[in-house]
Structure 1
Amino acid sequence: MDLVTDSVTNALVFLADNLFGQVPLLIGLITLAGLLLQRKPVEDVVGGALRAAVGVVILFIGVEVFTGGLEGFQAVLADAVGAAPPAADRSLGDFLGSHGGTIALVLTLAFLAHVVLVRLFTAARYLYLTGHLMFWISTIVVAALVTAAPGAGRPTLVLCGAGVVAAYWTLQPVWMRPLMLRVMPEDRFGFAHTSSLICLLTGWAGRAFGRLEARSTEQLVLPRRLSFFKDVNVSTALVVSVLLLGAVAAAGPDTAADRAAEMDPGLSPWVWALLVGLRFAGGIAILLFGVRMFLAEIVPAFKGLSDRVIPGTRPALDAPTVFPAAPAAVMLGFVAATAVFLLLLGLFAAAGWFTLIPPMIMLFFVGGSAAVFGNAVAGWPGAVLGGALTGVVLAVGQALTWGLLAGTAPELATLADPDWYAIAWLIAGMRPLIGGAAIWAIPVVALVTTVAVLLALGRRERRTAGERTPATESEQG
């Protein structure tokens, strides 16, 4: 019996590490399956699958190019403001060392449960395919469960964690659908990213500005001498370079010099700042090219799965897939998020509350995503609002959640997206209500809520379809 259990466990861990953890392969295989189900010619099948996989690789190359600069920016900026992470007895590395296998099992079982939910309920129309976030959501859920029930064994953590994660993957693209239809009216794919709650908040709050199509970030009219800002590559390089030059000026000379030396021994920190700004813009251009390439393949290929395996489904994809809709909004959101976060960093330090760590990568992806949706609702004021709200949520969330995860993996608080905070606090908040021994209530509540929401949405869609049919028939008559 132990041999069978170990074999199943090893197989699930293998899938987690070598399929779900390798996004190019996951996307390539799904594209391959979709094209085969559509009985496309072999040249289309092979070419489409490889183009989709290569597109994801190009996307990740772009991410690596500019996130490398953001990490350097983060280090220089932290030194400039004197920010250092609070002391902790545990680290993320320790947690992954002790619970890495549990996380892999949660990820694999959660995906299987997610597929079942999507197959059974027509209202669950999106299959969650953001591979790296599948890992991080599983990690934050396991960390929160360990915090809520320290004595829980591995089987309990795996099954409970899988239930919570499957519920999140199923519902998150669904609650983002109304906003996604503002950005992508053709509904070709869903939004699968852990910035979703701040995007929803931005969309709701942005309505106060009214629907301002004329103020879209992509249609702003600038003076002729500032018209170069309309080129996103130029504006990105200029803005990031200015931010980096400011950070270098405020930081200690050794920190900036060390970062410059990592790029090229003898390189001036000032030149390093300019080069990182240029690399950032180049990375964004590469990322957007990769996004367009893999979307061009996976979206039509997914029709095979939608028609034959999981009827009516669409892929739910990573945040960068919406960036081409409003690249200027992405930059505006990042700048607004960074400015607000730094302001709060100074206020928190002055009040002696918490030393914030600037999470530049999260400020970019979350701030950029919120800005795209804010722009779709209210134009450039909505984009600025999305970035500002991102700065507030990431700062306050980091300060509040560090202590919650201090006994497991506190770095998850400084590396987090908004949805991570919500999940961690929802699980923690249920502990006094259900008692430590009732950890099973957490996935039960999550899955029952998911089913109830999907049934309600399904009834509403059928009722709406029924109301439209008589009207259509009478018009034809």
Structure 2
Amino acid sequence: MGILQFFSQNILQKPAFFVGLIVLIGYILLKKKPQDVFAGFIKATVGYMILDVGSGGLVTTFRPILAALNTKFHIGAAVIDPYFGLTAANEKIAEEWPSFVGAAATALLVGFFFNILLVALRKITKVRTLFITGHIMVQQAATIALILLVTIPAFKDLGSGLGSILIGLLCGTYWAVSSNMTVEPTQRLTGGGGFAIGHQQQFAIWFVDKIAPKLGKKEENLDDLKLPGFLNIFHDTVVASATLMLFFFGAILLVLGPDIMSDPEVITSGTLFDPTKQNFYMYILQTAFTFSVYIFILMQGVRMFVAELTNAFQGISAKLLPGSFPAVDVAAAFGFGSAAAPLFGFATGLIGQLITIVLLIVFGSPVFIITGFVPVFFDNAAIAVYADKRGGWKAAVILSFISGVLQVALGAVAVSLLGLASYGGYHGNIDFEIPWVPFAYIFQYGGYIGLALVFIFLLAIPQIQFAKAKDKEAYYAGQLQPED
């Protein structure tokens, strides 16, 4: 019991060391040199610690603005972005269910190995893909843990051990099934590239691949359109995130004004505006850019530990699952479509988001949504790439715009449902609007029966895909079917 208590307190409840341990074990199994195993452990652990620094910085920078908004307008605000969402989910879990602090890290491991099992049994499960995008798995495990804890009140009674296993099984099922849905669309896009997508848009990619041909002609694609050159600056993540943060938070701070931002009774944490030391407009610029700084720090930490985590995962998959499809970051697909598609999707998706934000304000929504860089770029860029391939620029315009609308509208619903308005963030990516917002309501009204129904629904998807395939061996090989 003493060993288990030590492991629980010092490893399971310390995600940085748990991720490091996963990498350590993975590299040992791969028979890496001792120095490489040690270096991998350090990089993974320190990388996660850097992520924590970035997350903490986002919280301390955003909390004063949340406090001011609540004081002046009695509304909550949330950034729809997986990094803000990760921070918000971890903070809420730590405050309300402290015994589940290490649940996401445990679920990450459980989910990954369950994904391996589903692929190993692919003759039964019909699953062909292994999700290996580690940083996405971290974000999603935390969000799914929060969804279950909020929507099924009895879930916490399971305890962190059994609860974490159940979270992991749900994560692993979603990772395996959703990435499996992208095999044919991605094979079609890449001309047989041999990989699938394991990111935040798998359900959306499947839907786009089916519906885009009905909305336009693939011959009329984005390569035939001319886009303004200034959009190229948004290729740079720092420039894009700083610009978006300045646009949104600059507008919010201007509305709030210097008086409330310098009131110590309202701004009890973070940076208080001091009119004797700084101009208010420079304070706005500094605050907006500070968000970009912490997002950059967070992403650097993610890159550090994910590089090691992904290597360990790929080694395991190569040894245990030859012939399976790796499900990788969606950015891998961008180079196979129109060069204009990513920026085109970003622009049209952003327009959809902005219009919906205005509508939320007009109709008096109690939640104010602030757009985040990752969903507005990666989701809508991916949708535009796949839509343009199947239905040309018309499909890309329509589907990217709809995605932007759904990200904001359903993001507001999720923030209200999960009680995240005071924590400042929600995941925001399109798959965490549909199907995960409907899933959350199924959990809320169905409890454990609803959870079972979601498992059944997910596991039925590859069975239906296989049943519809005319050539069964071609299905396993990821080859396009005659009707495709």
TM-score range, shorter chain: 0.5 to 0.7
Task: Report the residue type matching 2:176 in the other structure.
Answer: T
Larger deviation, residues 363-372 vs 33-42: 33-42
**Cα drift, residue 356 of structure 1:** 2.0
Aligned to 2:246: 241
**Cα drift, residue 84 of structure 1:** 0.8
Aligned to 1:118: 116
CA contact (8 A) 2:104 2:145 kept: yes
**Cα drift, residue 451 of structure 1:** 4.1
Aligned to 2:314: 303
**Cα drift, residue 138 of structure 1:** 1.5
Q: How does 1:421-432 map to 2 (within 5 A)?
A: 422-423=435-436, 425-426=438-439, 428-429=441-442
CA contact (8 A) 2:356 2:409 kept: no
Residue 374 of structure 2 corresponds to residue 365 of structure 1: yes
**Cα drift, residue 253 of structure 1:** 3.0
Task: Report the residue type matching 1:252 in the other structure.
Answer: G
CA contact (8 A) 1:334 1:387 kept: yes
Q: How does 1:427-442 map to 2 (within 5 A)?
A: 428-429=441-442, 439-442=447-450
Aligned to 2:257: 252
Aligned to 2:85: none
**Cα drift, residue 171 of structure 1:** 2.4
Aligned to 1:393: 406
CA contact (8 A) 1:163 1:444 kept: no
Which one of the candidate residues 441, 463, 474 is aligned to 2:473?
463
Deviations 1:337-372 (A, max 9, x none): 6513421222321xxxx3222244xx3332233122
CA contact (8 A) 2:349 2:376 kept: yes
Compared CA separation, residues 71 and 443, structure 1 to 2 (3 A):
same
Report the number of matched residues.
436
Aligned to 1:374: 383
CA contact (8 A) 2:147 2:440 kept: no
CA contact (8 A) 2:185 2:209 kept: yes
**Cα drift, residue 135 of structure 1:** 2.4
**Cα drift, residue 12 of structure 1:** 6.0
Task: Report the residue type matching 1:251 in the other structure.
Answer: L
Percent of pairs with identical residues: 16
Unaligned runs of 5+ in 2: 78-87, 480-484
Compared CA separation, residues 243 and 220, structure 1 to 2 (3 A):
farther
**Cα drift, residue 452 of structure 1:** 4.0
Residue 271 of structure 2 corresponds to residue 262 of structure 1: yes
CA contact (8 A) 1:344 1:392 kept: no
Q: How far apart, in 2, do the equivalents of 1:30 and 1:457 lie?
A: 33
CA contact (8 A) 1:210 1:378 kept: no
Deviations 1:147-186 (A, max 9, x none): xxx6995379837666544433432333355566658985
**Cα drift, residue 137 of structure 1:** 0.6
Larger deviation, residues 102-111 vs 41-50: 102-111
CA contact (8 A) 1:341 1:358 kept: no
Which one of the candidate residues 359, 368, 381 is aligned to 1:344?
359
CA contact (8 A) 1:248 1:273 kept: yes
2:367 is paired with a residue whose SS is coil
Residue 80 of structure 2 corresponds to residue 84 of structure 1: no
Q: How far apart, in 2, do the equivalents of 1:80 and 1:39 lie?
A: 57
Cα RMSD over matched residues?
Answer: 5.5
Compared CA separation, residues 47 and 155, structure 1 to 2 (3 A):
closer
Which one of the candidate residues 28, 39, 56 is aligned to 2:31?
39
Deviations 1:285-332 (A, max 9, x none): 666766666666554553321133455567767789989999857864
Task: Report the residue type matching 1:441 in the other structure.
Answer: I
Task: Report the residue type matching 2:173 in the other structure.
Answer: A
1:357 is paired with a residue whose SS is strand
Aligned to 1:71: 62
Aligned to 1:134: 141
Larger deviation, residues 268-277 vs 410-419: 410-419
Q: How far apart, in 2, do the equivalents of 1:243 and 1:280 lie?
A: 11
Larger deviation, residues 329-338 vs 127-136: 329-338
* Structure with greater proportional helix content: 1
Which one of the candidate residues 171, 174, 187 is aligned to 1:168?
174
Q: How far apart, in 1, do the equivalents of 2:55 and 2:395 lie?
A: 25
Compared CA separation, residues 317 and 280, structure 1 to 2 (3 A):
farther
The TM-score with structure 2 as length reference comes to 0.65
Compared CA separation, residues 8 and 451, structure 1 to 2 (3 A):
farther
Compared CA separation, residues 335 and 273, structure 1 to 2 (3 A):
farther
Aligned to 1:474: none
